[in-house]
Structure 1
Amino acid sequence: MKTIESILVPTDFSEVALSAYCYALRLADALDASVELMYSIPPTTSTPGYGTFINTLTSVINEEARNNLNAFLQRGIGRVNDKLHHVPRVSTFIKVGDLRFSIRRHVEQENNQLIVMGTKGRHDAWDDFLGTNASYLAGRAPCPVLIIPPNTEYRNIESICFATDLNDVGTFQAGEVLRALRPFEPKLEFLHVHTNDKDVTDFNINLLREVFDRPETGMRASFTNRKAEDVTGAIFAFAFEQNCDLVVMHRPDRPWFVRLLRKSNTREAVQRARLPLLIITARDLAASDLPTERNTTEQQSA
């Protein structure tokens, strides 16, 4: 997982978005990162004979969005200013186009290492089928996504609940999450929730213990197995019991038609999040900005 130097915060100027922005400011302060605020304007269609009117309307909407975005920027800083060691650098961006596409393209162009996004949770059955903006991004974003539930108060990340299905080897790269959050020196609470005693997994919790239970290195970790029918509910219940500040879930890479038909624990967790929820992929965990052995050798040769 790359060092977090730039955090993207999409906004619609709602209280939910403001809560996420305030959280991002506090996190950026702790990690010495910058924040990028982004607002997306829906595209206007061109109609024959109304070109001048459409252009004028687009210009007016853009100017209004710019004013609202600057006001939103100051509103967030004003809300948490007395809790900051220093005010992070905040940049603003206005995009024209679909919100989901605009976010993906922005991350690819600006190389953000993290998206922080508020969520209003699940509203109706359509959210189960189509997903919210937050659940969509958690499933497709080109970088880790941190979901902030409504009314979340920022806390330093001292304890992390790392939920695993014991089927993905990406779990063994959990140390990369610790590296990205190094200023907090958090403890890792590994959790596996199974619905059936006969569930078959690729590895077991004891193998995780062998890899991560190394107090001599300064790493603090615990390992828990739980049985529950409601996997998502059990994850957040455990996180609250252990007073965790962050829940981490690994998103497997699946074809779109499999995602459509198969229940996703990560998507459900986004819709039911009760604590800050970080969604990562194996690609995110494997990504690193540390010099490789080959690059180091080339630099020494130069």
Structure 2
Amino acid sequence: MKTIIHATDFSENAIAALKYAHALSSKLNANLLVVHVFDYPTIFDTEVEEPVPDFEKVAYQNNKELLVEYCTKHLGNDLERMNVRTEAIENMSVTKAVIAKVVEVDAFLLVTGMKGTSAFKEFIMGNTTKQLIKKAPCPVLAIPEDATHKDINTIVYATDFEYKDLQAILTLVEIAKPYNAEIRVVHISPSEEFDPMIRLQEFEDHINDKVDYPNIIYENIPSDHTFEDLKLYLGEVNVDIIAVLKRKSKGLFKQLFHHDLVIKMESYGRLPLLSFNKTYY
């Protein structure tokens, strides 16, 4: 059974991500592991002058109870029946702790809030999400604060015709199948690109030879204004998830696919953003 991890900081901004992760794990028949990373100094509002007996045990138990209470409040009382587990983790680095857990359980997907505001110094969600997108060995799904989970009907995957797109699309198919969702593989071609339609057809033939899923559509969008026209397209097709393969600043369309696009889409903040790290594909 697959495992989806959701990392939370208990903020209002993370609630939508928790509910989204739960709905998605139910649809995919996956386990949901909700983790909260804490650091000992954040347990107290003031400096502690006297030694605290069993300090580590108390800190862990407090955070564990907070996490269970948080999940129960937003998901319901019977977490075990819903295949929801919780784990509090002590670590000064949220990114390192979450990635270590992703590796430990071989997570299929990591779900986070897109942005967050928290008094806890160790979990500033906006920055942490960026770091997880950059470093996580599994896909990272960043959920906007005002997102509400509904049936996923349309997923858009932006492609630059790379061979590693295949593995990303195979993962998208695993997400799309239970919903019978449409996957739109979209290439945005600037005016100077030579024969984008030929490249698109070759790419389509390559993917269809490897992927057994009928609901995949391939499209080319001529544009010299990549980000702006991509946003217009997303609105036109009423997309539910936008997916990208995170690349370094290389290739024909680095303005679309390098790290800055992920940051732009994150700042755009209106759609769930699914990011695949090219390093692990």
- TM band (smaller chain): 0.7 to 0.9
Which residue of structure 1 lines up, in the alignment, with residue 149 of structure 2?
154
Q: Equivalent of 2:73, from 75, 78, 88?
A: 75
Kept in 2, the 8 Å contact 1:162–1:247? The answer is yes
Cross-structure match for 1:274: 270
Structure 2: distance between partners of 1:263 and 1:250: 10
Select 1:91's aligned residue among 78, 85, 89: 85
Cα deviation, 1:182-204, whole Å, max 9, x if unaligned, reads 2122222111224x311479982
Cα deviation for residue 99 of structure 1 reads: 0.5
Correspondence 1:44-123 to 2 at 5 A: 44=41, 53=51, 58-78=56-76, 88-97=82-91, 98-120=93-115
| 2:100 aligned counterpart, secondary structure | helix
**Aligned residue number for residue 135 of structure 1:** 130
* Cα contact 2:32–2:83 (8 A) shared by 1: yes
Alpha-carbon distance in 2 for matches of 1:62, 1:222: 48
1:144-186 deviation line (CA, Å, top 9, x unaligned): 11111111011222221011123x2122342442135421222
- Structure 1's consecutive aligned runs of 4 or more residues displaced over 4 angstroms after TM superposition are 54-60, 199-203, 227-230, 282-285
The equivalences for 1:1-302 within 5 A come to: 5-44=2-41, 53=51, 58-78=56-76, 88-97=82-91, 98-120=93-115, 132-166=127-161, 168-173=162-167, 174-194=169-189, 196-199=190-193, 204-212=199-207, 219-228=214-223, 230-252=225-247, 264-282=260-278
**Which stretch of the first structure deviates more once superposed, 20-29 or 170-179?**
170-179
CA contact (8 A) 2:8 2:35 kept: yes
Contact residue 165 and residue 245 of structure 2 kept, 8 A: yes
Q: 1:220 to 1:211 in 2, by over 3 A?
A: farther
**CA gap 1:64/1:112 in 2 versus in 1, 3 angstroms:** same
TM-score (structure 2 length as normaliser): 0.77
Residue-by-residue CA offset, 1:245-278 (whole Å, 9 max, x unaligned):
21111112689xxxxxx75322332332321111
SS where residue 164 of structure 2 aligns?
A: helix
Range moving further from structure 2, 94-103 or 227-236? 227-236
Deviations 1:198-247 (A, max 9, x none): 14799822223334569xx6612323223445534433432221122211
Q: Distance in 2 between matches of 1:263 and 1:197?
A: 23
Looking at structure 1, the residues matched to 139 and 34 of structure 2 have their Cα atoms a distance apart, in angstroms, of 17
Equivalent position SS for 1:264: helix
Judged with a 3 Å threshold, the aligned counterparts in structure 2 of structure 1 residues 192 and 109 are, in CA distance, closer, same or farther, namely same
Provide the alpha-carbon RMSD of the alignment.
Answer: 3.4
Corresponding pairs, count: 256
For the Cα contact (< 8 Å) 1:247–1:275, is it kept in 2?
Answer: yes
Q: Please, which runs of 5 or more residues in structure 1 have no aligned partner? A: 123-130, 256-261, 286-302
The alignment's TM-score, normalised by the length of structure 1, stands at 0.72
Contact 2:157 2:184 in 1 (8 A): yes
Q: Is residue 33–residue 88 contact of structure 1 (8 Å, CA) maintained in 2?
A: no
> Any conservation in 2 of the 1:213–1:222 contact (CA below 8 Å)?
no
The CA distance in 2 between the partners of 1:55 and 1:200, in whole Å, is 70
Distance 1:113 1:213, change over 3 A: closer
> Residue 121 of structure 1 contacts residue 272 of structure 1 at CA under 8 Å; is this kept in 2?
no
- Most deviating of 19-28 and 65-74: 65-74
Q: Percent identity?
A: 20
List runs of 5+ in structure 2 lacking aligned partners.
43-47, 118-125, 251-257
